[in-house]
Chains A and B, each alone.
Chain A
């Protein structure tokens, strides 16, 4: 069989991303001003985003799919990189870990996510996932002299390795059952042979669910999240809370809706308890947190629970609502972390909730921004968070799971308690100590982007919803 060069058009953004990430890594040796490297990584993202617009199609015999679905996720990843880099520049200088590898690792991790979103085959999926995970482990432990950061990296790595092993088990089982790792081939094999209900298939779906639950931090595979979120550099926490989570949902949607589409009843039965538990644990344990990074960790667990509902709905409407939610979530969550990062200054950690006491008096603008993000995370209109939840609940109810929607709204009402506690500390208490804000043009820009997006999408969500619907295959 002669070797035929596969079409490289669809995969061009990934190829360019690889080259640019390597270039950034090498340039770090010669460029001493790290801000330049940060700038270069944003330029790389811009180039890749430009290429993304023109690339679509299936290549490498169906192992790589560049469609609307993957494109939407990749845009979230690009956004994630830009916002993360913007909030990192000053922060990693304060933390004295101002190394250029930081940026190339972010790019490599994002490359992994892009591969995951485009995976048409379980092997591609696994490769992307490992690339993403390995880069993120290193980033989590980037504060080499901080014991908590080391703990975070170690914990993340060990548990992540377990999850990867589960995923491999799942893949091997499905390969044993169907003889293929191609998602579409698996799907047609299952429906042709009428395999839904087959115990091996169910077991392998459980293993997939475990592995992906780990990536999106769903209960009971969420244990790593609070410790890792707390220990990792705050900018990386922001990065992790959006990127890997979105990538997890990308593969979750692709594998469960495409490959296991015929066995929807079975996997819905697996995911429903996970989703309900995730919402419950995330929202309830968040109430008792005293550290804001831990609180936001539990909050991100809870949000994974809501989004799982959209997958459970099993419709393209449901998928569209998850895409819409992830897009909105990226803005509001990174926005909140940007405020958290501002509180970190030389010699002051600023990650306790009590550090927010009286912030409205000392720094009214920062407090007002945090207020917007907190209300958005709660899901109160006219913020984008409400539109995300609203569309999500609509798709869930449309799929007939009204009781799940009721459960979700009750938990989201509970979540108001801990989000509002931050608002309460900022606005209704007197400042105890003088808190210095370490603002920088980067953070200012990131905050401006996120707050404007949160408010605009909250009032005029039509465009985003339309794009999400197209991406989900309407």
Chain B
């Protein structure tokens, strides 16, 4: 059963994208630690090279098929039938590009703010990049899990070594939460392996049907890993700590890519592997999503710490994403995937911006700011763009994503749609209030005389601004990638359980 289009670029593009940054990290080991500028420039060049190499994915991608593309396959552990198997489709391609882009920005934003253990920092960032891209490209469960877990090491160090005052607590919490979820998924993966007759091949696993009871168990085992990563209510508590304490680059990677992996996991694995269980669990998932949207939005109103506020807004926005995914219709799903990209761009940008002002003032307390607009006008206007995109103003990307999600959510369950929409209103409330407190009002003594953002910082933010309007004005450039893959996925989910539909219905009634 061949369900893939081979890579015809003449070189293994996905492997290159994964291992180039890792090789770069290995080379960094050889550079003397006193030569900091060489370390920085080298990391920047590596990350830009990776991004340039990833461009053919964007241009050569065949949008008219749901099949995996640019695939590579080699035997890895033959005795256990484990393969080194890579490929991307419409769902994963955008995340690969996003990871490559975000890494460049992370290198740029850390240019002056990371002063201790510089070498280790850039090694961590580059290893992180390789692992992130690996997660999105893996077509073998074992390989996927390897990257998924390997990511924890650099992220743990990023938060714990270069983070804020409470960084150790945040790093340990992040690590333990994620690890507990992941190991449960590992057991699920192995059970699946034996159930399917000894294969970790994701594409092959997706062609099989599993007993309903087993699906339910495995759904929850996978849920443990993905829900923690997203993070969904009620396992979201690590995120505010990790986001707040992480250095800017760490927050950006977390917001832009890492927490997307949970939602990506739901789409890539939970839905097609366990279609019946997913359908049966839709009410639970929609409820958790709505709770996350509203609960975190309300919490945002009470925050006094800039980064913490944005962190909670992430939980709220990711609630939209899971809502869209579990609406199980085309609009919701596409909206969910697009909103993942949007959230990556916008929240990434917000963390970048906060990082810039934090470098100047070294405080995250909202009460220490005020009147920044008169001191740093360029910064203020850029921040306004991000604020509005976060709220979801039409013509920005946030609007497209949230609109599609609410449309899909409404189709799936009217209440979910209505309640989610209130989340947007509260969202506008806390973001605008934040903007008011930081940028308007009386000029705080602590921000008086700050220099406006410099060229390096503008260059860092520029790609994000371009993306915000690009997606906002012409979303089809991005939706077009995922159309076929999402359609195919929904067919699998909605037809996969035809003969089991009766059982699912019964369960639904019991739950009700």
Contacts and interface: CB of A to CB of B under 8 A. Distances in A.
A375 B179 CA distance: 12
A390 B145 CA distance: 11
Contacts of B145: 381
A440 interface: no
Contact of B149 (A360, A381, A465): A381
B172 A420 contact: yes
A461 B183 contact: no
A394 interface: yes
Contacts of A381: 145-147, 149-150
Given A375-B153, A417-B176, A462-B76, A397 B194 contact: yes
A466 interface: yes
B186 interface: yes
Interface stretch (A78-86, A112-120, A263-271, A401-409): A401-409
Interface residues of B, number: 36
Nearest to B116: A361
Contact of A402 (B77, B160, B176, B187): B187
B198 to A, nearest CB: 9
Contacts of A390: 142, 186
Interface string B162-173: 000001100110
A391 B77 CA distance: 11
A92 B187 CA distance: 44
A428 B187 contact: no
Interface in B120-158: 120, 142, 145-147, 149-150, 152-153, 156-157
Interface in A356-405: 360-361, 364, 375, 380-382, 386, 390-391, 393-394, 397-398, 402, 405
A397 B180 contact: no
Contacts of B76: 460, 462
B191 A402 contact: yes
B396 to A, nearest CB: 39
A381 B146 CA distance: 6
Contact of A364 (B33, B78, B161): B33
Given A405-B190, A417-B176, A420-B172, A428 B161 contact: yes
Contact of A382 (B77, B146, B157, B171): B146
A413 interface: yes
B117 interface: yes
Contacts of A327: none
Contact of A413 (B78, B120, B180, B194): B180
A380 B150 contact: yes
Given A393-B190, A394-B193, A416-B176, A360 B120 contact: yes
Contact of A380 (B78, B153, B157): B153
A394 B188 CA distance: 11
B34 to A, nearest CB: 12
A313 to B, nearest CB: 13
B132 to A, nearest CB: 14
Q: Is the interface of B mostly helix, strand, loop or mixed?
A: helix
A471 B77 CA distance: 17
Q: Is the interface of A mostly helix, strand, loop or mixed?
A: helix
Contacts of A397: 187, 190-191, 194
B224 to A, nearest CB: 11
A150 interface: no
Given A382-B150, A424-B172, A406 B79 contact: no
B419 interface: no
Contacts of A462: 76-79
B193 to A, nearest CB: 7
Given A360-B120, A424-B171, A427-B161, A410 B190 contact: no
A393 B79 CA distance: 16
B190 A406 contact: no
Given A417-B176, A420-B172, A393 B186 contact: yes
Nearest to B190: A397
Interface residues of A, number: 34
A173 B33 CA distance: 66
Contacts of A361: 117
Contact of A409 (B167, B171, B172, B184): B184
A410 B193 CA distance: 20
A71 B174 CA distance: 43
A124 interface: no
A164 to B, nearest CB: 38
Interface in B212-260: none
A381 B149 CA distance: 6
A469 B184 CA distance: 26
A375 B191 CA distance: 25
Contacts of A460: 76
A283 to B, nearest CB: 13
A187 interface: no
A469 B79 contact: yes
Contact of A386 (B78, B149, B160, B190): B149
Interface in B418-473: none
B149 A380 contact: yes
A360 B180 CA distance: 27
B9 interface: no
A295 B198 CA distance: 38
With a 10 A CB-CB cut-off, give which of A360, A398, A413 has the most chain B CB atoms: A413
Nearest to B145: A381
B175 interface: yes
A108 B152 CA distance: 43
Contacts of B33: 364
Nearest to B127: A382
Contacts of B191: 397, 402
B117 A360 contact: yes
A413 B172 CA distance: 12
A78 to B, nearest CB: 24
Contacts of A469: 79
B80 interface: yes
B62 to A, nearest CB: 32
A428 B165 CA distance: 11
A409 B160 contact: no
B197 to A, nearest CB: 12
Contact of A465 (B77, B146, B150, B186): B77
A412 interface: yes
A417 B146 contact: no
17 contacts: A381-B150, A382-B146, A382-B150, A386-B146, A394-B190, A397-B190, A413-B179, A413-B183, A416-B176, A416-B179, A423-B156, A428-B160, A428-B167, A465-B77, A465-B79, A465-B80, A466-B79
Given A375-B153, A402-B191, 10 more contacts: A361-B117, A380-B149, A393-B186, A394-B190, A394-B193, A409-B187, A410-B183, A424-B160, A428-B161, A462-B76
In the A-B complex, the 10 residue pairs with the smallest Cβ-Cβ separation, listed nearest first, are A409-B183, A381-B146, A413-B180, A462-B77, A428-B160, A413-B179, A397-B190, A381-B150, A381-B149, A427-B161
Interface of A: 360-361, 364, 375, 380-382, 386, 390-391, 393-394, 397-398, 402, 405-406, 409-410, 412-413, 416-417, 420, 423-424, 427-428, 460-462, 465-466, 469
